[in-house]
Structure 1
Amino acid sequence: MTDFSLSDLEKIVAERANASPSESYTAKLKAMGVSHVAKKLGEESTETVIALVSQDDDRVVSESADLIYHLLVALNLRGIPAADIFSELGRRTSTTGLEEKAARPPDGPREG
């Protein structure tokens, strides 16, 4: 078991985002912009789903790590600290998931 946390990863992402793109994959992603990182996050999401459904546990762990990393990079680029996500999760878990969903405002009219 490791003591490594999401907070540790968030700090590393923030540090590496300010490095030279020639020295850091995180900095290279930052240079490509949030739209590129969002697409990469979508790819990693799909790969994680595929791994969950049809691959071994090692692959699930590997793809999940990629997904979390790219999410933290995207949040960093948007200036959203992970603490904001955890605060929202904390707020939501103060009730059951069904109660929380029922309390959400309804979606507006859908187009198309």
Structure 2
Amino acid sequence: MPTLAFLSRLDRLIEKRESERPEGSYTTRLFEAGSKRIAQKVGEEGVETALAATAGDDEELLNESADLLYHLLVLLRSKGLDLDGVVRTLQERHG
């Protein structure tokens, strides 16, 4: 599956979790904690990503980057935004 197609699918899954709030879902717990807590998670994952990069641990860098992207998508959704908005902004800057 192409990379952007997967990210779009993940974004749609996050949107679904936000609206349905299935019990036991980590994504549901994040939404229930609110945007401030989600933003804190993005910050934590950003720091962990940077630390993995400076440590030279490529596997950990990939894992932390995945966590960062996931939490960023959840944060965007919690603010009424989505991946498409980010892509449009990038296209405006670099297209």
Instruction: Calculate the TM-score normalised by the size of structure 2.
Output: 0.89
Partner in structure 1 of residue 53 of structure 2: 52
Give the structure with higher Rg (CA).
1
Structure having greater relative contact order (Cα 8 Å, sep ≥ 6)? 2
Return 37-46 or 50-59, whichever deviates more: 50-59
- Gapped regions of structure 1 (runs ≥ 5): 95-112
Amino acid in the other structure paired with 2:24: E
Q: Percent identity?
A: 36
1:23 deviates by: 1.6
Partner in structure 1 of residue 31 of structure 2: 30
RMSD: 1.3
1:42 deviates by: 0.2
Whose helix proportion is higher, 1 or 2? 2
Q: Stretches of 4+ moved more than 4 A in 1? A: none
Return the alpha-carbon distance in structure 1 between the equivalents of residues 52 and 15 of structure 2. Answer: 28
Q: How many residues align structurally?
A: 92
Return the alpha-carbon distance in structure 1 between the equivalents of residues 24 and 15 of structure 2. Answer: 14
- Gapped regions of structure 2 (runs ≥ 5): none
1:8 deviates by: 1.0
